[in-house]
Each structure stands twice: as structure tokens, then as C-alpha cells.
Structure 1
Amino acid sequence: MRMESGAGSMGVRFTVLGPVEVTVDGTRLDGLAPRHRAVLAYLLLHARTVLGHDRLSDAMWGPTPPETARSQIHAAVTAIRRVLRRAGAADVLQTRDAGYVIVPEAGQLDLDEFTAALSAAEDPQRIRAALALWRGEALADVTADYAADARTRLTERRLAAFERLAELELALGRHEHLIDELIAQTAAHPLREKLTCHLMRALHLAGRQPDALAVARAFRARLADEQGLDPSRAFTALEREILAGDATRAPVRQVSFLPYDLPDFAGRDSELDHLTRGTREGMIYAIDGMAGVGKTTLAVHTAHRLAGRYPDGRLFVDLRAHTVGQRPLDPVAALEILLRQIGVAADRIPADLAGRSALWRAELAGRRVLLILDNAADAEHVRHLLPGAPGSLTLITSRRRLTDLDGARALSMDVFPAADAIAMFGGIVGERADKEPLAVLDVLQLCGFLPLAVRIAAARLHHRSQWTVEYLAGRLRGERRRLAELSTGERGVAAAFTLSYRQLAPDGQRMFRLLGVHPGRDFDPYAAAALMGTDVYEAEGLLEELFDAHMLLQHEPGRYTFHDLLRDHARALAAPDEVPGALGRLSDHYLRTAITATDRLFPYSRHLRPSAPGADGPLLEDPAAAVAWLDAERANLIASGVHAAADRPCHTTDLATTLYAYLDGHIHHAEALPLYDAAVHAARDPAAQAQALLNRGVMHARLGRHDQAHLHTPRALVLARQAGDRHAEARALCSLGDVAWDSGDVDQARAHYDRALSLYRETGERRGEAIVLGNLGLVHSRQDRHDQAHRVLHQALALFRDLGTRAGEATVLGNLGTAYEREGDHTRAADHFTRALALFRDLGYRPGEAEMLASISRLESRGRSTA
């Protein structure tokens, strides 16, 4: 950081592990009142997470904030900014649409350093360095509503770290210098059993058996007096060992460096079965998956279950590929940690990678160990750490697929199945989850069934007794605040995603951001290329990189999508200045390719659609390819048109016009309605307005909503004539004919249809001509002009068949059935209804199918009554 005044480089630092302070080169900056420090501390506890006013207010004052809460928070943020500007760190506190976020750099926040140091919890030196960061009680000068719970959580982490340090140093025979520290800690926390056990063991190893037993007796008495409990079995076993043992003998060292196994571990039965049943000596498993999916949790739980098979050691090293504020642990340092874990003296460990790797393989020869290499960046990160001989099991976790790690079995983890997510959530929340099962499912779906998100949501609810599950679901429904809600303490889904994002190359980061603004649910390489403004081959390579990094999902070859929470994260990262250009390129791609596809399918109506300039999209060389592309992209095309209505209205109206023949002819009316509603609002000139109103009317009519279908037809006719659009005028007249037919005015219907037929023939619009002929056939039949009815209906049938419009063909077959029924020829009527029914069923058009079934039933009923 640099001072705004131009002073030299300074060290800006934020501290919460003690008094809350901002310092520069060790000098404390004044200017923050107690309330300001409370807001700053909460922002720092949730660093890199956007916090809104409601969340901050809830933290400061709980459920009953003062009326001035918003202004007080604003004043605190203003004061914090003032101090940060003096420190030359103004950009650390940022304002986002959803609230505020503080983004300290590496080395600026003591809590980040503490967390990072503990990631190497098998290294005593790093744990001591982490504990040295504490300068007293956490949040020492903060009295806000949230402070007590936060202070308790941080203190628990501090104590757990010291207990792990004591365990490691006792295993290394460093008991003498631990005794004073353990005496001080047990005096401060007299009912903490693990601390007492460590003190007893240290005294025992130092030859002070009576003192060790005295500590045990004092603990037993205090526990009984204050809590009415007896010590655990582990405590009793240690006590017996001290009673029976020689005061000078060294204990048998149990080499286990596995992290804590979660007591509420839930689900993952198939993965556990795969790992525990399928393991054999010398096997390597590479467990990969997106951030927060539970890779480390699964590996650790598996290791604890299999621990008995590996008596020579259970080893663990965090390679820190995705650790806040830390570089990945290089193989040289990782090998030193592993060699020390199996008891190799420091003076025997070579300095270079090759020497350490060779020693590591030699030491493991003949041993049976279980090794977890956690949080690997890639295959090269772990290659030198693998055992060289059979006998051991290695579990590797990584956010990337380790496709080039020869000999490793891959296990790719997905999000939770619903049952596993329910089990975890209920195990944490308790009976409140049982009372609101539907709300629980809402929460889990809003969490995308991602284990980290589910655990955080459950933890937030568990610590807020006044909240209901439905209230939590309501807080998660807002896309802008969802990721902010899914954070607690120092953990957060957004923070986990950010680490994965930072590991991507610049082009991969840009692709990830731009895919986030895609308005649809999935995308192919051509759409990705349009967003990026690059060619399809480069885009496909970037998509595959994101897929390998578990930043994207792939449910079928060539099509990619996001996990819902990753989509939210990607969208939040997109820079405002890069979004319009990307969406413009995407809109152009979709429109150009849609025009190409519909021209392949409906060449006779090409003149009714916009022209398509040269495109870099798929070739679509035949109608089958065109239909396949339109079917695959239909939801995206509709979403693109709806999304563009405000900023690119011409794209919306052009796309709606382009897709009309496909959406109508292939029976996608309900899906299409949002696009045509958007087109009505987006249309700017009379011709576009007329077309949009008529297209929307057709979609409503196909769905049986005739009042909606014809509501704006008169206005559409006026607009069409005003624009001189003969085709739109013909469509409006045809629609008015439908209105007259529905009201029983057959003569008026015929007049409208005749005028429409003349206009369609004048403009050469054969599909419109076929539609009107089909309608006129019914009019002539109703007026008992049977020869004319058959003539025009067969003309319509021939036109539809020539055009390849099967929906139109089915409709006319039904109309012919109706004509024959009016003439009393029930055999021919039934034959035509049956043929129409088969076509409607093949098309999946349920209203047409229902109408034909009703017609057939009506004929059968008449036949029975006649008999």
C-alpha cells in the first residue's frame, strides 16, 4: 500500500486477535470510536464476503436494532474509510450493490495468518507461530451483540491449536518445556479434559508420576463437583497407564496426524463404500470436486475408518493450493513435514527435492501407512510425495481433476443427494428441521445441495434460536445476498469460490466471469466463444479447463452449466464495463444462428425474417441439424430474447419474429409466451408492434386462451395498415375471422378470411394461405357448401404437406373430419379424426390430441344411439 500523500511504502495491518486495531508500520491509527471498531471487526471476521445493512444491523444490535441503525452503520463505515485513507489502504473497504466488503491483502489480517498457519497443523513451528499472533482476548474491546459468540468461537480455535501443538510436541519427546505452558493453560481452563491429559502425560514423561496423578485426582474432583460427571474412557486409560508405568519409560508413540473427524458426518455412503471396500495396498485415490463439496471431510472420515489397517502411521499434509493468503506448499517443504511425521530426525533430512523424495520412499518401504495429501494444486504437486512401494494407501484431494496422475483411481464428488443433505442439516439444527420439512428442502435447494453451504446455513440457524427454517429460506432467496448469507465465522462459500477463481489463468477468469452473465441455464462452445469474442476452439479449451477445475458442470457432451451458487459468484465478479459487449456478441450469435436454422426448416417464409449476416456458429447443413440446434438452445434463445428487451429491444423483436414458425410449428407455445410478452413491450415501430401483438395472440390461442388471443387484434390491424405491412394485415384479418367464428357470426368470419386469403396470396406467404384455407373449409362446411369445403381443405392439406408443417396437416385433417361429420359420413370422419390424432400425438400437442379424442368419442356415442 502507498500513502495518498506520496509517502513511502508502509505495512498496513488489521488485528482482531486481541484489541481491534488498524496499524501502519506498527503504529496504531486513532479515529475509530467503539461502535466503529465493532463494525470494522465484523467486516474483518467476514472478510471477502459482502455484508448488507440488515446483516450488519443484526450483528450489532440483534433482533431489536435502534431506529438509527442504518445511519449509525453508515457513520461507522465513513469513519473506517477515513482511517483507511490515512493508512493508504482506501481500496480495502469496497461498496457493492448488496452492501460492504473488506478485502485485506495477504499478510494484512492477523486472523487470515492464524487460519493459514493452522492449515499445516502437523507442523509444531507453524502452530507456535499462529499462537504468537494472539495479543490477548479476541475482540477485546468490542461489546456489540455478535462479539460474545465470535469471541467464544475464536477462543475455541486457539485452545484447539494449543492442544494440537502439545500433542505433536509430546510425540516428539519435547515434554520438559511444555509443562509450564500446560500448567498455565489448565489453570485458565480447568475443565478442559484434553489439556489435563496432556499435562499428565508431560509430567509422567518427566518422571513426575506423583504430580501427574495429583493432577488427575484434582480434575476428577472438580469435574464431579461442578458438573456431576466422570472423566472419559481415554482419561481413565491414561490414568491407569501412569499408575502402572515406570516413571522413566517413554510412551509408545502413536503416529497419527489425522485431523478431527466430524461427529455429524452424514451421507456419502456410495463414496465411502467405494473407498473402504475397494482399497488395497499401494493404491492411490485422487478425490476431486468443486470447492465446498466435502473432499477433505470424506478423506479424513475414510482415514479414520481405515486407521486400524495401517498400524505404521496415519499421515496428513495440507498442500495449501487453496488457502487464504498462502502460497501452495512446495514438495520440498511437504516432504520435510512428512519425514518428521514418521520420526526422521532433522539432521537426516536432505536439503534438495530429489534427496528428500528418495529418503521418503526408502523410509516407507516395508511400512503400512495411510497418507492424505490434501488440497493439491495438480498432479505435479504430489508426484514426488507418493510412496514408492506397496503397503500404503494414499488419498489425494484436489479441486482439479488429476487426469495426468498415472496409476491413480479418480473419485469425482458431486453435491449431496437430497437425503444426505437432509441428514446433515437435521443433525445440526435438531427438531426445528423436523417441524418444517418443506422449508428445509427450500433451504437445501437454495444451497444447491453443496455440503459447505448446507453446513453453514444449518450452523447459522442453530445459533439463532428465534429464526425459523422458513425465515432462513427467505434470506437465501435473494440472489444478491445469498452468498453473503452463506458465511459464518471465518468460513464462507464465496471465499472458497474466490480461491478457486484465483487459481485460474487470466483468460479462464474472464471466461468464468462472462459465463456468469449468460441469461440461460447452459451453454455450448459457440455461445462461450461469442461471450469472449474469440474462436470456438479457444473457447472450448477454456471450458474444458473450467470443467477440470470444477468451476463448471457437464451433463452431456459439449454442453456446460454452473452450480447455482457458482453462477451467483461468477455474475458478481463480472465487471460492469465488460458485460454489455459480451451480451451483445451473444445476442448476435443467437439471432444469426436462429435465422440460419429457421431458414433451413422454413425456406418458404425466409422473406418474413431478418437477414442473417455471416456467422461463426454451427453449420446446420440440413433440417435435422437445424431442429437439433433449436431444440438444444430453445430455452437459451427465449431467455436471451427476454433478457434483451430493456437494453437491446430490436434483438428481442427480431428473435421473436425469427423463432415464430419453429415455436408454433413444433408446439412450444407455453415456453414461448415470455418471449412474446417481452416482444410486445420491446417493439418500437408500428410494424414490429403489430407482429408482436399477433404472435403473442397466436401463442395464447394455441393454449386455448381465446380472450387473450384476440384482445389486441383490432389494434394490431390498425398498426399493420399504418405501417403498410400487408402480411401483418393479413394475419390480423385472419385473427378477426377467428373472433367472428367463435362468436357464431359465420358470414363475418368468411369475409375476414377471404380478405386475408387475398393478401396472403398477394404477398406469397404460403403458410398463411394454408391456415386461412383450413379455416374457410370449416366456414363453407358450416354453410353447407360441401364441395367448396372439400376443395379448399384439400388445398390447405396439400400446402401444409408441401411445406412440411405437420401441425398444420393435423389441424386440416381434423377439419376434414368435422366436414365429413356434418355431411353424415361418419366412417370418413372417424378415419380423418384418427389420422389427425396420430399426428398430434407424434407432435406431443395435447390440446389437439384432446380435441380429436373428443370428436372420436362423439362419433362413437352417436353410433351407439343409432344402433
Structure 2
Amino acid sequence: MEFGVLGEVEARADGVAVELGTARQQVLLAVLLVEAGRSLPVDRLIERIWGDRPPKRAKESLYSYVSRLRTALGAAGGPTIERSSTGYALIADPSAVDLHRFRRAVAEARGTEEGRLPLLEYALSAWRGDAFAGLDNEWLSQVRATLKEERLAAELDRDDLRLEAGQQAAMVAELTQRVAEHPLNERLAGQLVLALHLSGRQADALAQYQLARQRLAAELGVEPGTALQRLHQQILVAATPPPERWRPAQLPINIAAFAGRADELAQLDKRLADGSVAVVSGMAGVGKTALAVQWAHQVADQFVDGQLYLNLRGFDPSGSPLTPEKALRALLEGLQISAERMPMGLDAQVKLYRSQLAGQRVLIVLDNARDAEQVRPLLPESETCFVVVTSRSRLTGLVAASPVRLDPLATRDAQTLLANRIGRDRVSADPEAAEAIVELCARLPLALAIVAARAAVQPGFPLIALANELAVGRDRLAAFDGEDAATDVRAMFSWSYEALDPATARMFRLLGDSPGPGVSAAAAAALAGVTSAAAQQLLGQLVEANLVQQPHPDRYEQHDLVRMYAIELAHTTDSAAERDAALRRQLSFYLHSAANGRAALGRAAPLMEIEAPFGGIVPLQFADDRQALDWLNTMCETTLAAVQLAAERGLDRIGFEVSHLLAMAFHYRGALADLLRVHELGLSCARRTQDVLAVAIAETDLGAVNSELGRSSATIIHLERAASLFEQISSPLGHAEALEALAIENHRCGRYAEAVQLYLRSIHLTRQSDGGQGEARLQNNVAAAYLKLSQYELAIAAARKALALCAGNRRVEAYAWDNLAVAQAETGLHNEAVDSYQRALTLCDELDLQVLKSSALGHLAKLQQVLGRPDEARAMCQEALRIHAGLEPDGTSEAKRGELIAILRSLGQQ
């Protein structure tokens, strides 16, 4: 049976419509379809069907609707509506519901690089009109508005791709109508402007831009954003840019049960109008994050260039708040700055961050800050951006900041929050008990959320009984009380924790003792030594109890205070042996997942044999390199915490192995400072194992990262130790890798003759082990060193050897063709050099090697000038300058730009 809500609510069996009964019955079906497969409490169903004014016999009516729907669906051979202890659920495959097919296809399109347009076309084909057409109530209206935004976002993504595919002529009329419906949507306006431009209608495109500009000025008093202005400029100079698509949207999911805080929300509105940084401060658990996120969602549409969110973990139980460098890296990644473009050093990162935000309209939420020093480098200089910071401290060191002080909720607001979570009828039925619960929770939203979660799963339990239990639990933990009222939430934690079944309670404790800021379901399964399905069930119960947060679909985290409580329980309940076994299982999961990731990325197997999977864990498998990279991009913080914890617990062998195999995560993120710390810990672990091979590998790792950090002396010390150890144990491949790294360091420092000798020794050892790919890379490096020594014939010979050995390694091939071309041009083989440069440039385009492309074009322009082809030389030089302008600056940038400009000037005299 197929179901539809993206239009009229309908059910079809073999194409024949099923009679669904009254409008209220159809609303019930719509609610169950939106949450297909998930059990919904009776109170929540009643609220969604009737809002805050249900009839007196609402439950009886609900039961009647359920019975009639069961009969109608069952007669047509459809799924059943099941009753459980938590409520009702329609047991239907989500793929049978048009809404879930739409969302899944959109998610797949956004998670892949290929086949995106057909996926989005398929997703949008699910729509037959307005969602829930013909039905209306408060809840449906809210969901309908959300779905309308999702549909528009998918249409915008699809139309970007259609423009890229050259379908602009067929899009103008459709885009014109959509712009009329959404006149202030700058991205949509940009698509129409671009479609007109690509259709050859330049005057219409420019007129449409002016119309969009006038609308924004009249309605919002603002100029168009950078993306639309840039498109306008490009049209003026007759350029054809690709459509701008990236707009960060990182805000966490809004809290549906939010209540109160009207004064504080108004203060934030005022801070926004004033243009000052807002600092929301207050005790732990008072709802700072909830307030900031709630307000951010309310004003998000005013920030046309997106929203950034970052948890600075200022009061993390691990005692490891994000450093400004780590925080900046995360924010820059949110702005789509790749690791290759990420500069070294805090000052350079601050400059890039502020440059990226200049003129942008971006909202930045910096959550859980430790102090002003942590926040100060993260503040943009652009007046068009706005920053909200949350912290337990007032951050008075931020001179330009305006405070928003948050105290526990007012009693009425706290009662509203409780009612929003467990139902107004239940609170109204026993207001004295509800008031007692509110006061026992010290009117703290965190405590109220946890207590409400417990109460929600016991809908028939009187509130007065819950209040009495809570009072007893609080008295029992009175020894924990301190001056900060937030310590009272331990009573709530205890009360909710003691209601958990043993398996769920064990998972709760182990999560607190787990390395890193959060876990996936698969990692949690390894931690607890259970199946993935069992782990998801246990995590789901903890989420329902509000003892675990789920900020993303497969990410589970604990609030700082909750985690502190979980850690205390783990250390008093579970033995050290049990906790070490859990850590070993989790480390083993990360280790073997990393090994599978290396294989998916085509990386060579590690030199050492890694520990067998511990405790029957099931590591991740990756279908391709993209999946492996996506996972690695989430692993930096966890890897650092895991290796540190392994070293503290004496799990030295697996600690070293994790440090070695998961180093890829830091390389792909460019997080070299963290990588240095991980490899230092890894070397300490390796030395304690007294395994010479492990120590040699760890020395190589440390040498490599020191080289990337520009620490030449330390690099050479570590690599020479590694080479000696590999030679001692007769490991030719390890010895070759250490010598290659030494050669690269000498090359980097201008000692080219020494580098050549080390490369050649490494080649000799490589032939004894892997040959092929490794030797191709080495021969190309030899060619580059010979070019620096002006030994061009030898460079030609080495480059040709590299090309013969590439065997599909196109990146090495691209650089080898470029080295060969340089040497050929220097020896007078001009036509051969032109051909070699063209081959290199073709590979640059295929592999997006922009740095190499800019350099090769500049060299080829000089060669074309020598060959008497000034027009070709001028075009190539201009293209090289255009690419160069988009690259991150380094120490040689100005010199390279000066060389290109000099070529252009000389061409102007011809």
C-alpha cells in the first residue's frame, strides 16, 4: 500500500484509493504517516489533532478513529496501527510514504557528487500540491510550512544543477513565477538572473538584478548579498560563473517544548539591532543553548549567507575546551574552506576567517565558551555578521559584548515547559504536584526535561507520586549540593538513571567513560559489546529519557553535567577491568574501521600487523573513498581523546596502532597541531611496548608531522632514528619510507644534492618491496630535485621513468608531465614541452589541481612567447592569474603573481 501526504492525504492499494473517513481521521493518519514506524503517546496525538482545546472525550474519539483506520487499512491489505506502552504507531515501511521518499532522495542527493539531478527530480516528483491539502489545524500548519521550506530548498538545489547542465532556456518562466512567490529569496533571484544571462538575455538579467535590489532595499533596507552582487559584476563583464550554492545552515534542531524567556528573546533582538555581540550567561543547565538556538531559528532568515554553530566545549568533563585554532578550523570548514586552503597558524586563520565573512550576512552561534580568550579570535570584523556566545561566565573581557543574563525559569514558565513536554491536561489535573516538581527541579530546564521524559513514559502514574519519588531522591543526594543550584540536577539524574533497565544503565555509564565528544551507534555497539541493533535501541531509550542528546541522525552526546554524573557512576559501579574492556572494544572498532578506510582510499596496508578485532566488534565497511573520507572527517577529536585515554590506561599497543592508522583523519583536516600530539602519545605507547618496529613507525610518523610544521631539526632527528631502526630489523619498505621522508625534508630545505642521494637509496629499497607506485612517486621527486640543480637531461630521464611506472596514479602523472615539460623547455625541445604541458593541464582539470595548473600555465605562457605566439601566451597568462587569485596566499604568492604580470607587460610590447 502506498501513502501520500504531499498533496491530499491518501492511501492507495494497487492504485485504488482507500476510503479514509472523516477529516479528523485523516489528520490522525497524517500524524502517524509523518512519524511512520514510530510510537506516539496518546497525549501527543490528541494535541496534534485538536491543539490546546481538545474535547472532553478526546481519548474515546481517538480510540474510535484508530479503530476505523485499522479496519479501512486492513480491509485493503495495508499495514496495521499497533498499540504499545508508549502509544500508537503505524507499522509501515517509510519508503511507502511520499514524504519519506522525498526526504531520503534529497538526503542522498546532498550526500553524493554524481547523479544528484535525477535524485532531486525524483524527490520533487513526489509532490502533488500543498502538503495535507484540504486539512487544517495548528500542527498541520506548522509541518506544512516546514515542508514548504524543504521543497523550496530542494527546488533551489535542483535548479542550480539544471543551470550547470545548460537547461536555462526552459527554466526562465518557471523561475520568474517562483521569484514572484518568494520575492526576497536572494538565491532564487540569482538563479533567475543567471538563467536570463545564460540564455543571452543580458538586459533582462541586469533588469532582474535591479528589481531584486530594489525589493531588498524597500522591504529589508539592505543591499544584495555578496553572491548576488558578484553575479551582477560577472554579468557586467560578460563572464559566465557557476551558480553559487553553498550556504551553511548549522543550527541544531530547535526544541519544540521551549517555553518562556520572552524578555531574554527581546534582549537578543535589541542586541541584533544594536549590532553588538551578545553573551548569554548563566549557571549550568539553565537553558543557555536552548535560548540561543531558539532565537537563532527565529532570525535565521535575516542572515541570507547562512548560520554557523560551534560547541566550544568550554566546560567539557574531559577538561579539553576547543582551542581557538581548532575552533577556527571548524568554522572555516563550515565555510567550505578545504584542508588544502587552510593556512597554518592562528593569525593566518583569523585573517582568512574574517576575509571570508567580510560583507557576508552570517549568524554565528558560539556555544559553551570557557573565557574571553577562547572567543576573541572567533569574532568577525564584518558589521553584517552577528555573534551570539553562551557561557557559564559573563565574559566581561569581551569589550564590545552586551550581556544577556539567564536565571532559572519563572515558575509559570517552568510549569509551561513541563506541560509542553507531558501534556497540559496532566499538569492541570494536579497543579500542586506539578508545582512541586518544578521547584524540586530548581526551575532549571535541563532538570525539567529529564524529569518530564521520565514522566512521559509513565502516562498513568500520578504526578504527586512522581514528585514524592523526586523529593526522596533529592534528599538522598543532598551531600552533593553546593552553592551552585545546578548541582541539584544530580537528583534528577539519579531519579531517571534508577528507572533505566540494567542494559540501558550500563550503556549510559559507558558513554560517560568513552573517549571523544560523542559516538555513533556503531561505536556505541562496540563500546558496550552488543549488536548495532541493540545499541540503537539502548541509545533510543536514553534519548527518550533526555539523558543523551542526538544533535544529528547518527551522533549521540551527553550534556556536560550528565556526562560528569555518568563518569562518576562508571568509576563507582563498574570495575577497572570492565571499563578497560569497553575501551579496548571501542579502540578496536576505531582501529579496524580505520584499516578498512585506508583500503577504500587505496592506501598501502600498515607495515605492522595490527591487533585482531577485540571482543567480536564489527568495524565499519566503506563502499568507496567518499564514505571513508566522510567518516575520517568526524574522527579528529575522538582520535586524540582515544589515544590519550589508552596511554593513561596502559593500553599501549592498541593506543599506538590507533595513533598510526587514524593519522589520516588529521591529514585530511589539516589539523597538524593535534596530529603532533597524537603521534607524541603514539611514540610513548610504542616505546612502552618495547617493539622495535612499532617505535620505528612512530618515529617516522613524528618526523613527517614535524616536517609539515616546518620543524626541520626535529624532523631529521626522528627520521634518522626511524631509518636506523628499520635497518636494524631488516624492514626494506619501512627503511625506504624513512629515507624518502628524509629526502623530502632535505628537498624542502634546499639541499637538493643530498635529497637526490636519499631518493635513490629509497628507490633501491622500494624495488625490494613494493616497486611500481612507490617508485613512480620517488622518480618524480628525483626529477624535481634535478631541475633545481639545473641537471635537465637527468631530470628528463627521471620524469620518463616516473611516467612509465605511474600505473594509473594520475596525480603523480600530472606532476611528472609538468617536470618533464620544464626540462624539455630548458633543453630546447620546445614542441615536445608544449605537448607535455598540455598533458599536465588536462590532468589538472580532471583532478582539480589548481596550484599546479596555475604554475603550468605560467610556464607554458613563457614558452608560447618564445615560440612567437603572443595571443596564446596572453590568454594562458590571464588564465593563470585568474586561478592564482583564487588560491590561498603563501610565502611565494607575490613573486609568482609578479612573474605572471611581467609576462603580460612584455607581451603588450609585441
**TM-score if structure 1 supplies the norm length?**
0.44
**TM-score if structure 2 supplies the norm length?**
0.42
Larger Rg: 1
